[in-house]
Amino acid sequence: MDNDLLQALEKFFVDAIPTVIFFLLLYAAYRVLGHYLLKKVLGERYDRTQGAMAKAQADISSADAKATEYEHKIRDARLAIFKTQEARRQKLIEMRDAALAEARNRAQALVKQTRADLEKDQAEAQVRLQQDAETLAAEVMRMVLRPFAAAPAGGGR
């Protein structure tokens, strides 16, 4: 039985030799024809993927730089608009102040002129009052003295 078993094993291994050789040839053909080509294609694909990722990263960085540049330009434009508005506001304030000063000067000149006119009118009125008072005093004296002047000088009472 040991002998039969050994012969069976020997026959089994001898019959398996062509299968093993065929398997080794198949493995070698796969390595040469399939594995290396597949590995090369996968490597190229990985490189392309990494290249696309690197390009995408570069595009993102470029977009971020442009966005930052646009933000700076917008901020500068807003600042320029603010400065322009501030200059206009300041100019309007200066124009308003100049108009107020001119109106104030005209009002002061008008007040001064009106005071001078009032003082002149007051002086003229005082002169007229003085003249009228003298005229009325003379008139009153004439009226008071007329009855005495009309009376006889001899005192006939």
Give the count of domains, the chain: 1
The answer to whether residue 112 scores a pLDDT higher than 70 is: yes
The reply to whether 101 falls in a domain is no
Domain carrying residue 19: 1-30
The reply to whether 25 falls in a domain is yes
Separation between Cα atoms, residue 108 and residue 96, nearest integer Å: 18
Question: Within the chain, where are the H helices?
Answer: 2-29, 36-150
Each residue of 5-21: pLDDT tens digit?
Answer: 888 888 888 898 999 99
The reply to whether 15 falls in a domain is yes
The answer to whether residue 155 scores a pLDDT higher than 60 is: no
Mean pLDDT of 56-78: 94
The reply to whether 67 falls in a domain is no
The reply to whether 88 falls in a domain is no
**Helix (H/G/I), strand (E/B), else coil: 151:** coil
The reply to whether 122 falls in a domain is no
The reply to whether 42 falls in a domain is no
pLDDT bucket at 43, cuts 50 / 70 / 90? confident
> What is the b/e burial string over 71-102, where b = at least 16 CB atoms within 10 angstroms of the residue's CB?
eeeeeeeeeeeeeeeeeeeeeeeeeeeeeeee
The reply to whether 151 falls in a domain is no
Q: What is the pTM of this model?
A: 0.43
